[in-house]
């Protein structure tokens, strides 16, 4: 994570945009009166939004946690299409 003042980012915007997209860097742009902003890639933003969506629904989150536990146990689970559809309800 980098912290850069507004003047520097303005003068080198392309360079910092490249760091964000190419190196997955997060840039905090510092401004007067603590009105700071964060520069992240669209890919990172979409990832954050997707995670928030999944975690905001308890049923989805619980299924995700259970799936992860199954993977960690190296167990394979086979479900029929009907079982998968029933899980959605």
Per-residue pLDDT of the chain (89 residues; tens, 9 = 90+): 999 999 999 999 999 999 999 999 999 999 998 899 999 999 999 999 998 988 888 888 888 888 888 887 876 567 777 887 888 77
Q: Which of 54, 75, 74 has the alpha carbon at shortest distance from 65?
A: 54
Provide the whole-model pTM.
0.65
Please list the residue range(s) of the chain that carry CATH number 3.40.1620.10: 2-41
**Ramachandran quadrant class, 33 (left: phi over 0; alpha: psi -120 to 50; beta: rest):** left
The 8-class DSSP code of residue 22 comes to H
Superfamily for the 2-41 domain:
YefM-like domain (3.40.1620.10)
**How many whole angstroms separate alpha carbon 26 and alpha carbon 22?**
11
Q: Are 30 and 50 in contact (CB under 8 A)?
A: no
């Amino acid at each position: 994570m980098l912290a850069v003042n507004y003047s520097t980012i303005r003068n080198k915007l392309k360079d910092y945009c490249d760091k964000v997209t190419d190196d997955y860097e997060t840039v905090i742009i510092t401004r007067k009166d603590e009105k700071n902003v964060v520069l992240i890639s669209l890919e990172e933003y979409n990832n954050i939004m997707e995670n928030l969506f999944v975690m905001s629904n308890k049923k989805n989150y619980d299924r995700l946690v259970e799936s992860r536990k199954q993977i960690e146990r190296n167990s394979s689970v086979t479900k029929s299409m009907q079982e998968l559809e029933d899980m959605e309800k």
